[in-house]
Amino acid sequence: MDTFFETMGMFASAMGNDCTFCHVKEAYFDKTAFAQVTPKMLRARQMLTMMKDLNEKYFAGRTRVTCFTCHGGSNAPRSEPDLALQYGEAVEDPNARDFPWIRGSRASRSSTSTCRPSAAPTASRS
């Protein structure tokens, strides 16, 4: 698969949508319509610049911040953390990406983990 289409697929997956979320709906049947620029495409380009700047400034150019970092499969980024995940019991996440240890960081390899806290059950409203 071509890198361009892999990249587009990652955008769609991170946003929890298909291509026509950002591109015009006509592109579904007319591939030339993918070239039409939309406001969502302009916003996505701004976000890509922001991610690139963050990765260069804070992670020595390594890809650590992605669309999924904030969007997590939703078309709108989360504005607040999920405290059930933060304070819940840690569980092994087989799909977690374990980043290589960065020389000079204070964290040791033994302290890095691919565990994510499990979501605590939410109380139902009666």
One domain, residues 73 and 85: no
Beta-strand relationship, 115-117 and 90-92 = antiparallel
The beta-carbon contacts of 33-42 under 8 Å, at least 24 apart in sequence, are none
The residue among 64, 79, 94 that closes a domain is: 79
pLDDT (0 to 100) of residue 121: 46
**Do 90 and 126 reside in the same domain of the chain?**
yes
Domain range for 106 is 80-126
In angstroms, rounded to a whole number, what is the distance separating the alpha carbons of residues 126 and 105?
48
How high is the pLDDT of residue 50? 96
Q: Give the pLDDT of residue 103.
A: 55
pLDDT for the residue 8? 87
* E strand residue ranges, the chain: 90-92, 115-117
- 97 and 64 housed in the same domain: no
Whether residue 5 is found in the same domain as residue 48: yes
Q: Which residue has the tokens 């690139």?
A: 52
Is there a single domain that holds both residue 63 and residue 93? no
In this structure, the answer to whether residues 74 and 108 fall within a common structural domain is no
pLDDT value of residue 126: 41
Q: Are residues 12 and 57 in the same domain?
A: yes
- How many domains does one find in the chain? 2
Q: How much is the pTM?
A: 0.61
Q: What is the pLDDT, as a whole number, of residue 104?
A: 54
Write the CATH number for 43.
1.10.468.10
Same domain, 98 and 121: yes
pLDDT of residue 98: 66
Low-confidence ranges of the chain (pLDDT < 50): 1, 106-126
Nearest Cα to Cα of residue 102 among 67, 69, 68, 58: 58
